[in-house]
């Protein structure tokens, strides 16, 4: 019996040693149950970067800023929260933001309300744009009605025309047919803008991912789940490229009118953007709500900004949060690496990099290019580099 006991002890010791070895041995094979263990919901996955890189805090823009893309206290209620104007102006002063352009001012009494509440009490701090009344698209005199409406809006104090992405994606006639961006009924409107000397700020298309299926391959999956009506995938909608080609035909037909392509037009394809800027001298770009897209391709973005420093405008389209502005300043002014864009991860799970623009380019993009576009209006005439 003694030998049997000894054998038992030896076997038990061997098993214990094997177990300890298994626990301490570093393996190189994937756990067969790994997929079953991956149970963290996407909305709960918030990894913290372990990358140690310099980080700069920019609390004030290096030059005065004209933010050409905002909806703060607008007539449409795009920004749901109403902001106290006096508090907003104080925030602007802290961050060296001289003027904010409120694009969605509508027309008539609604436009007048924005002018009375935002523009008149704070001279030079806010500009307001008018819009097209698409409810009259089937009216036989649509073109002439809109020209008269625009003339009235400019007489009241509107400083430009804003065209939402509805044109080409949402506006339909009574038969249900989409109105194309280059519909000839709009030509008199574009031409009148040129005659009046006011710019057309046009939002054509949307992020390229919005035109693809909302599935596991879509880099903006979370955003499209949150906003399913932002998906333009399928036969009911044109492609992003066809929309932009239609827009370019309009720009070509109206060389005396300034067009500003909102959101950089096609920021995922900056070579295409550069070609458009080279071809159409009356075309400008602004980058509202596209810090995420541009910041993840810093070398390409910097190359574009340096090639066309006179044709790019500062825009935010992200409310009036002080942190948002400072994030934009950091992106434009520093070479910081691998940091969150404002609103991360709403637009996609990637980080961005600063493009560290030289002073002469920053000065133009922050305010001088916008001053040139609004040159006829006293609110934005520069005096010793400042805006009054």
Minimum mean pLDDT range among 4-13, 45-54, 335-344: 4-13
- Does 190 reside within a domain? yes
Report pLDDT digits (tens) over 137-165.
Answer: 999 999 999 999 999 999 999 999 999 99
Domain range for 245: 65-387
| Contact between 198 and 161 (Cβ < 8 Å) | yes
Query: Over 50: is that where the pLDDT of 388 sits?
Result: no
Query: Over 50: is that where the pLDDT of 316 sits?
Result: yes
Compute the mean pLDDT over every residue in the chain, rounded to the nearest whole number: 93
CA torsion sign for 360, 361, 365, 369 is positive
Angstrom distance (rounded) from CA 65 to CA 189: 29
Show the tokens assigned to 128. Answer: 């307001």
pLDDT at 44: 92
pLDDT at 71: 97
Question: CB burial class (10 A; 0-12, 13-18, 19+) of residue 7?
Answer: exposed
- Does 237 reside within a domain? yes
Q: What domain count does the chain have?
A: 1
For the entire predicted model, the pTM comes to 0.91
User: Average of pLDDT values for 170-187?
Assistant: 97
- Does 312 reside within a domain? yes
- Does 129 reside within a domain? yes
- Does 47 reside within a domain? no
- Does 54 reside within a domain? no
- Candidates 107, 192, 185, 188; CA nearest to 152 is 107
Report pLDDT digits (tens) over 114-142.
Answer: 999 999 999 999 999 999 999 999 999 99
pLDDT at 23: 56
- Does 57 reside within a domain? no
Cis peptide before 281 (omega within 30 of 0): no
Report pLDDT digits (tens) over 225-281.
Answer: 999 999 999 999 999 999 999 999 999 999 999 999 999 999 999 999 999 999 999
Model confidence at 294, pLDDT cuts 50, 70, 90, reads: very high
Q: Kindly give the pairing relationship between strand 126-128 and strand 161-163.
A: unpaired
Q: How many other β-carbons are positioned within 10 Å of the β-carbon of residue 282? A: 17
Report pLDDT digits (tens) over 332-371.
Answer: 999 999 999 999 999 999 999 999 999 999 999 999 999 9
- Does 251 reside within a domain? yes
Show the tokens assigned to 208. Answer: 């390229």
CATH number of 184's domain: 3.20.20.140
Tokens 């009356």 label which residue? 282
């Amino acid at each position: 019996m003694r030998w049997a006991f000894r054998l038992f002890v030896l076997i038990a010791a061997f098993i214990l040693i094997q177990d300890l070895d298994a626990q301490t041995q570093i393996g190189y094979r994937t756990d067969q149950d790994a997929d079953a263990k991956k149970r963290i919901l996407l909305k709960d996955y918030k990894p913290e970067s372990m990358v140690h890189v310099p980080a700069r805090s920019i609390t004030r823009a290096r030059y005065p800023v004209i933010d050409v893309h905002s909806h703060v206290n607008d007539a449409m209620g795009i920004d749901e929260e109403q902001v106290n104007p006096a508090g907003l102006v104080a925030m602007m002063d802290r961050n060296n933001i001289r003027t904010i352009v409120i694009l969605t001012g509508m027309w008539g009494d609604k436009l007048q309300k924005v002018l009375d509440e935002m523009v008149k009490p704070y001279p030079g701090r806010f500009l307001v744009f008018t819009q097209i009344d698409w409810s009259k698209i089937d009216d036989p005199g649509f073109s002439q009605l809109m020209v008269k409406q625009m003339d009235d809006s400019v007489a009241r104090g509107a400083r430009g025309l804003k065209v939402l992405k509805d044109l080409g994606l949402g506006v339909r006639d009574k038969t249900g047919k989409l109105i194309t961006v280059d519909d000839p009924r709009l030509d008199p409107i574009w031409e009148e803008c040129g005659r009046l000397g006011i710019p057309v700020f046009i939002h054509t298309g949307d992020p390229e991912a919005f035109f693809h299926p909302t599935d596991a391959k879509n880099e903006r999956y979370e955003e499209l789940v949150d906003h399913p009506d932002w998906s333009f995938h399928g036969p009911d909608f044109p492609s992003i490229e066809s929309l932009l080609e239609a827009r370019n035909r309009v720009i070509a037909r109206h060389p005396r009118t300034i067009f500003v392509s909102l959101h950089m037009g096609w920021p995922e394809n900056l070579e295409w953007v550069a070609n458009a800027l080279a071809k159409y001298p009356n075309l400008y770009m602004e980058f509202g709500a596209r810090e995420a897209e541009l910041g993840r391709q810093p070398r390409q973005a910097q190359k574009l900004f340096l090639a066309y420093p006179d044709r790019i405008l500062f825009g935010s389209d992200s409310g009036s949060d002080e942190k948002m502005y400072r994030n934009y300043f950091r992106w434009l002014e520093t070479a910081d690496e691998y940091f969150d864009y404002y609103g991360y991860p709403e637009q996609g799970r990637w980080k961005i990099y600063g493009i560290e623009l030289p002073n002469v380019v920053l000065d133009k993009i922050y305010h001088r290019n916008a001053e040139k576009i609004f040159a006829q209006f006293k609110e934005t005439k520069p005096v010793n580099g400042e805006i009054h």
